[in-house]
Amino acid sequence: MFGPALPLAERYTALLADAGVRRGLIGPREVPRLWERHVLNCAVVAELIPEGADVIDIGSGAGLPGVVLGLLRPDLSITLLEPLLRRTVFLDECVTALGLENVTVRRGRAEEMRRELRADVVTARAVAPLPRLAGWALPLLRSGGNLLALKGEQAEAELTAARSDLAKQRPCVADVIRVGHGKVDPATTVVRVTVTAESDSAASPRSQRAPGGRKKRGRKR
Ligand SMILES: C[S@@+](CC[C@H](N)C(=O)[O-])C[C@H]1O[C@@H](n2cnc3c(N)ncnc32)[C@H](O)[C@@H]1O
């Protein structure tokens, strides 16, 4: 699945198992299942993200899924958004160690970034219940953009309970999809919320750029 990025994925997994565990960012019991349950589980989400997209990963923690997406997809421009210093220090170290020129670490809370950040895709894994997460993520999305929330088996129930909340926040459609069949078991469950076309007078010209309109950047290995 990783192709030429496999050595980077292995290096990142080793960083999680070593410094990630020592600094309390990953539980020691997760080490035997880091690859299957964490790295692969996040990697399969890449197939939902269009070429050249700007991505914000809210609540990156130790870098899941943002670092995995960044190393797998050099075409993406990824912002790892994380409020806790201890975690942003680790994320900066990962970005440097892996030479990820397409990944930027930003310390802050998602709800405080409305004026500063815009993206085609927002990802989040294990960060907040859907209504709260959508309240943080939807203002950061360009029209037509997607929130991809990695959720557990209760995703359908969570979405059903959250639908009216979502509709109040911004015009959108939402569904639950499972990605990575045959690559990861169980497949990764994603709640996808797509912002539908709207007349958004607050949108900046930048916010209306289509994915892929950005010049590609190379990666230093
Ligand atoms: C349970 S951890 C999940 C980390 C990672 N996404 C993962 O799956 O391993 C939740 C993360 O969300 C971050 N977080 C909490 N509130 C946030 C907010 N308002 N904006 C951005 N991140 C937030 C926390 O600091 C923490 O790192």
Q: State both tokens at 13.
A: 């997994």
pLDDT tens digits for range 125-150:
999 999 999 999 999 999 999 999 99
Cα–Cα distance for residue pair 185/104, rounded to 1 Å: 30
Sheet holding 141-151, edge to edge: 103-107, 77-82, 54-58, 119-125, 141-151, 188-195, 172-179
* Dihedral-angle region of residue 148 (phi above 0 means left; psi in -120 to 50 means alpha; beta otherwise): beta
Residues 6+ apart with CB under 8 A from 73: 46, 49, 102
Whole-number average pLDDT of the chain: 91
| Ligand 1 midpoint to CA 111 (Å) | 12
Ligand 1, residues at Cβ distance < 6 Å: 58-62, 64, 81-84, 87, 109-111, 125-127, 136
- Percent of the chain whose pLDDT exceeds 90: 88
Torsion of CA 71, 6, 38, 146, to 10 degrees: 40
Q: Which domains does the chain have, with CATH numbers?
A: 3-197 (3.40.50.150)
Q: What is the pLDDT of residue 209?
A: 53
| Ligand 1 midpoint to CA 57 (Å) | 9
Prediction pTM value = 0.91
Q: Which residues are annotated as a binding site for S-adenosyl-L-methionine?
A: 59, 64, 110-111, 125
At residue 113 the predicted structure's pLDDT band, cuts being 50, 70 and 90, is very high
Mutate to test the pocket of ligand 1, among 16, 37, 127, 136 (most ligand atoms within 8 A of CB): 127
Question: Tell me, what's the ipTM?
Answer: 0.99
